[in-house]
Amino acid sequence: MTQTDTPSTPVLLPRPLLRLLAAALLPLALAACNGGDGDDDDDTPVVTPPPVVVDPAPEVETPTRNTAYLKAKAGDVIQVRIEELRPTQAAIGYDQIYYKLGRWQGDFNRATWAADAALHLDYLDRTVGKKFDDYCEDMGGTERAQKFADIAAARAARLDQPETFACKDAPGTHTDNLKTVVVGWDGNLYLTDGHHTFSSLRTIFDGGPQLPVWVKVDANYSDLTTAAAFWQRMVDERRAWLRDGQNQPITVDQLPSRLGMASADEAGGMQEDRYRSLVYYTRDIAYKNGSLPEFAEFLWGDWLRRQAAGGQLPALDQYKMLAPATPAQILAPSSFNATLAPGGANDSYAAAVRDASLKMGALAVTDIVFDDRTAASLGVIPLTANVVAGVSVKGSRDTLDELTRNDVKDNGTPRNAGKLWFAANYRACGKPAAGTCWGW
């Protein structure tokens, strides 16, 4: 009988035994995978480096632009708030500001003319009324439309309430009277003329940072792409004065952030330049304030400083211009006669004005004052040359004499007091009021 082959039956291992066998063979399988040709016995694990993280390029910083004035053109008249105007100089003459603050705030309760309402109103028109005349003129609207009808009208009038007064012409009408601005690279308005005017208006009680004012656009440089390019152009065109209150050079980053005098109550104010004040009081004595270049008074102040440094003129600390000197000492009259011989006090504020004026007035019109600026280009009144030529200097003499006079005539009626009288008393006494050192 033939034996027939039959297929073998697979041997089935129990499931637990299969799991044990797989566990035993796993290391061998892993070794075979890593083995290569058998010559490489390096079992160092492969380290994958971390991914390289590339920082994105920093974005170019672009300041937020003020878009309100980007389209303004040279010659445009615009209404703005004082707080929108950026200074292009670091300092102002505080005594010029004090003159305005002293004159603009007449004393409504002053007893001098309490018995005569007409004289009291005359006094208020010369003081409080002057504030509105100045405002109207500086805004391109000449003077007030009319004087105060009565004392009640004078009390009610406020700069920040335009319905309480009126200018003879609408603001912006007479553009030659307007202060000027440049539109900067950032769209902001940079003031090139009017730092003293707007500082005074910013300080007076009915003015302030938000007071509306009118200015004329002198140029628009908003097409410049960097602050450096803008300021370089401003300096090249002599539209910025980069000196501090001591006449030391500064950078544009050191310019103040706002108009107005420096104050412990508010950051960002402007420094005091005492020579700038001095030059202001030589106006119409030694120079005329006509169509002068920007910062002309600072150029004269620089020249006077150099005269003092060279021993050709006493330094300001040789005069009684500040406390502890009394207002009477500060305001002691000083003068010069028809031949320019000095007279009166030699150490008062008026004496400092006289001496500076005589020094300025001794220049020939072609003499250089600063850089390429001649005395003539800065409005000099050639006092010495005029005397030699037989030209009267009476106008200059009268202006000097008037600086220190008070506001009461010999007959007891009101008059316009001298600028220096207002300034010295305001610096020493504050707002005009009875019982203070104003003297009533």
Largest CA distance in the chain: 171
pTM of the model: 0.85
pLDDT of 59 reads 53
Mean local confidence (pLDDT), 13-26: 41
Number of other residues whose CB lies within 10 A of the CB of residue 386: 15
pLDDT of 182 reads 98
pLDDT of 63 reads 65
pLDDT reading at 32 higher than 80: no
The count of C-alpha atoms lying within 13 angstroms of the C-alpha of 113, restricted to the half-sphere facing its C-beta, is: 21
Mean local confidence (pLDDT), 69-84: 98
Backbone angles phi, psi at 334, to 5 degrees: -140, 155
Mean local confidence (pLDDT), 360-373: 98
Mean local confidence (pLDDT), 148-152: 98
pLDDT reading at 213 higher than 50: yes
pLDDT reading at 11 higher than 50: no
Q: What is the pLDDT of residues 255-297, one digit of tens each?
A: 999 999 999 999 999 999 999 999 999 999 999 998 899 999 9
pLDDT reading at 55 higher than 80: no
Give the whole-angstrom CA distance, residue 320 versus residue 258: 31
Mean local confidence (pLDDT), 188-199: 98
Give the whole-angstrom CA distance, residue 404 versus residue 422: 8
pLDDT of 290 reads 86
pLDDT of 56 reads 57
Give the whole-angstrom CA distance, residue 139 versus residue 194: 11
pLDDT of 65 reads 92
Mean local confidence (pLDDT), 167-171: 96
Q: What is the pLDDT of residues 378-413, one digit of tens each?
A: 999 999 999 999 999 999 999 999 999 999 999 999
What average pLDDT does the chain have?
Answer: 90
Q: What is the pLDDT of residues 301-359, one digit of tens each?
A: 999 999 999 999 999 999 999 999 999 999 999 999 999 999 999 999 999 999 999 99
Interior/surface letters 390-422, b for 16+ CB within 10 angstroms, e for the rest: eeebeebbebbbbbbbebbeeeeebbebbbbbb
pLDDT of 64 reads 85
pLDDT reading at 45 higher than 50: no
Select the more confidently predicted residue: 406 or 48.
406
pLDDT reading at 1 higher than 70: no
Give the whole-angstrom CA distance, residue 216 versus residue 211: 16
Q: Which residues lie closer than 8 Å to 341 by C-beta, 6 or more apart?
A: none
